[in-house]
Amino acid sequence: TQPGDQYQPEHNILSDIPTEQPGAKPGVPQLSQAEFEKAKKIYFERCAGCHGVLRGGATGKALTPDLTRELGFDYLRDFITYGSPGGMPNWGTSGDLPKEDVELMAKYLLNDPPTPPEFGMKEMRETWKVIIPPEQRPTRKMNDINVENLFSVTLRDTGEIALIDGGSYKIVSVLPTGYAVHISRISASGRYLFVIGRDGKINLIDLWMEKPDTVAEVKIGLEARSVETSKFKGFEDKYAIAGAYWPPQFVIMNGDTLEPMKITSTRGMIVDTQDYHPEPRVAAIVASHFSPTFIVNVKETGKIMVVNYDDLTNLKITNIEAERFLHDGGFDRTGRYFMVAANARNKVGVVDTKENKLMALVETSTTPHPGRGANFIHPKFGPVWSTSHLGSEAISLIGTDPEKHPDQAWKVVQELEGQGGGSLFIKTHPNSKNLWVDTPLNPEAEIAASVAVFDIDNLDKGYEVLPIGEWSGITEGTRRVVQPEYNKDGTEVWFSVWNAKDQQSAIVIVDDKTRKLKHVIKDPKLVTPTGKFNVYNTQKDVY
């Protein structure tokens, strides 16, 4: 039998995994099996991302029954209905959840959380498939696609990615993937594209094939967000790594077959309290260019694990104690320092990937959310890395040059004021003088549908607003404008206009120099586009 034959797609995702309803408690409303299943599904789909599978809390508050029973049914129902300015969505008044479902969720939260099953080597190997073995793959590029300027675009709600040619704006192909691919990463050679679905499924796509397609796949957990590939000299395309939310673990795989090789659990002690945490989820993973290491950010325990892949048998992991709730981040412009947001702690941690040590924890504004951040030369303070925030309009610029600007290094040297909170991503390019800041989660529809752009040489001048949603020509829906991404040369910026699944979405391309609309990509196949990853910029960590 082939590996993967036993793979059961109907049990593909955390929300569909059968789990037993924990025992009833006196005074707590009991749910029928059907109600429990429904609530569990809603919880895993809508709530677990912020509150955790076991409800220990992270971006969202802890919702363990000792706390929820204290708050009581009425409070929970109202909170779910109306949301909060702290970032809790208004599930009731937005119409996302009908009144019965809101009440069901309030009851569900009063009950003990179910524990989903583990997912180890056996389960991984059962899902592992090599569709085209390395020896049967092309030995040179067989297509005339300008691969370096190709964009891998997440089509969130259809479980697909679109490969879009950055020159012609044509959709080269739409490939089936895991559900709601979270990120795309490129191997050191630029040949292989790795994507990971929310359901933990990784597709390895060979961009040298006549028609780029999946050559191997594996599922590494039941809920996941991150994948990366070895970048250090001598290890190009050799290994891949992926991190899971559930079970809390990361796995190192063979880089051209995805064969799972080594699984490491992230369960352990929280950095500040030294209490045990059963569900420390793996957030961002990056690969160092300075050493044979992966930098694995563990959310709930606040550890940055520097994993040395030089010798997998005697795996050496340096545990850097940073701050709880690590989420997303990227390198400084030299590639030596890694900057990561501890979002619920309003801090950015800085790691020296050459010396493997924590340089600083920098205080920022409320809930920093950089994506990979934006690097540029500040006219006064030299090289900076920047982040915008979910919880405020601030944009924090942090000095990153300890050699020539030691007084500014690892300090917020300037705070800009953007359009508002609800920002997810910020971007610039070495060839550009523009700094772009999105605000897709801002409650004001107009702000969510537009972006702010700053002139790096005149930051004090404030920002210009570009109505990207309006430029898309789409008139209905929320039109959330999300994630600026540059083309290879840094002459164009691409934005997703992310609408509901049954509404039209688009990609809007802006000329970077003139800040004028250049092109709109609309296609029935372009359903719920979110993240976009330019091959060259992702391969070389240009941002």
Footprint on this chain of ligand DHE (rule: CB under 6 A): 49, 59, 154, 156, 180, 182-183, 225-226, 283-285, 327-328, 371-372, 424-425, 482-483, 530-531
Q: Can you tell me the distance from the alpha carbon of 171 to that of 98, in angstroms, rounded to the nearest whole number?
A: 37
Cβ nearer to ligand DHE, comparing 49 with 83: 49
227 φ/ψ angles, rounded to the nearest 5 degrees: -145, 150
Q: Provide, rounded to whole angstroms, the least separation between the CB of residue 92 and ligand DHE.
A: 19
Decide whether 296 or 362 has the Cβ nearer to ligand DHE: 296
Report the nearest approach of ligand DHE to the CB of residue 338 (Å): 11
Cα(151)–Cα(535) distance, integer angstroms: 6
CA dihedral 168→169→175→180, nearest 10 degrees, is 160
**Of 250, 227, 225, the residue nearest 240 (C-alpha):** 227
What are the residues facing 306 on neighbouring strands?
A: 295, 318
State CA 216 to chain mean position distance.
Answer: 22
DSSP strand pairing (293-298 vs 303-308): antiparallel
- Give me 332's structure tokens: 């400084």
Choice between 130 and 350, CB closer to ligand DHE: 350
**Of 76 and 284, which has the nearer Cβ to ligand DHE?**
284
Give min distance, CB of 342 to ligand DHE, in A. 12
State which residue, 195 or 413, has the beta carbon closest to ligand DHE: 195
Retrieve residue 255's tokens. Answer: 């880089």
Least Å distance, CB 139 to ligand DHE, is 31
Residue 144, token pair as written in the block: 């005339």
Q: Which helix (H) or strand (E) holds 240?
A: strand 239-246
Q: How far is the CB of 340 from ligand DHE (least distance, A)?
A: 9
What is the identity of the amino acid at 463?
Y
CB of 443 to ligand DHE, least distance (A): 15
> Would you please indicate which residues are annotated as catalytic (active-site) residues?
47, 50-51, 88, 327, 369
* Alpha-carbon torsion, ordered 78, 423, 389, 387, to 10 deg: 160
By beta-carbon proximity to ligand DHE, the closer residue of 199 and 256 is 199
The DSSP string of 426-483 is EE--TT--EEEEE-TT-SSHHHHT-EEEEEGGGGGG-EEEE-HHHHTT--SS--EEEE
